[in-house]
Copies of this chain bind each other. A is one copy, B any other.
């Protein structure tokens, strides 16, 4: 089973494609889609749409898992993150790929066993679960891997979700 995890954002959209085979999880592809703050937001969203479309076509994941936005202090940034997430989810659904969103607390719970784990714990657990010698960098990629791992943990406990 192949899950493309996405940590959405307008400036940096992290992604990590995690494969689970025979109980072993590994990262097949990872990176960051970056758009330039000097471009207009609609053009940046179109760029994300194009890149996500290419990734899905290339990697052919069984599912796309997206970190669900929780509102914090900066509403203006939050709107742009939500817009990027919307574009990612629409593109995945258009390609016929199952999409699920997970809030940060659920991702942390699945990866670290604790819904209020800090960033460092998540990074370390992602590294450990994927059997990597180095932590995934930048944090957007590690967070994207975490949401993919969360999807896989959920699909083990509810096999129907795994298709």
Contact = CB atoms under 8 A, between A and B. Distances in A.
Interface range for A: 20 to 34
B93 A45 contact: yes
B40 A94 contact: no
Contacts of A99: 40, 42
Contacts of A24: none
A84 interface: yes
A71 B71 CA distance: 10
Nearest to A49: B90
Interface of A: 40-43, 45-46, 48-50, 69, 71, 75, 78-79, 82-87, 89-94, 99, 101
Given A45-B86, A83-B90, 18 more contacts: A42-B89, A43-B93, A45-B90, A45-B93, A46-B89, A46-B94, A49-B91, A49-B94, A50-B94, A69-B79, A71-B75, A71-B78, A82-B86, A83-B83, A83-B89, A84-B86, A86-B86, A86-B87
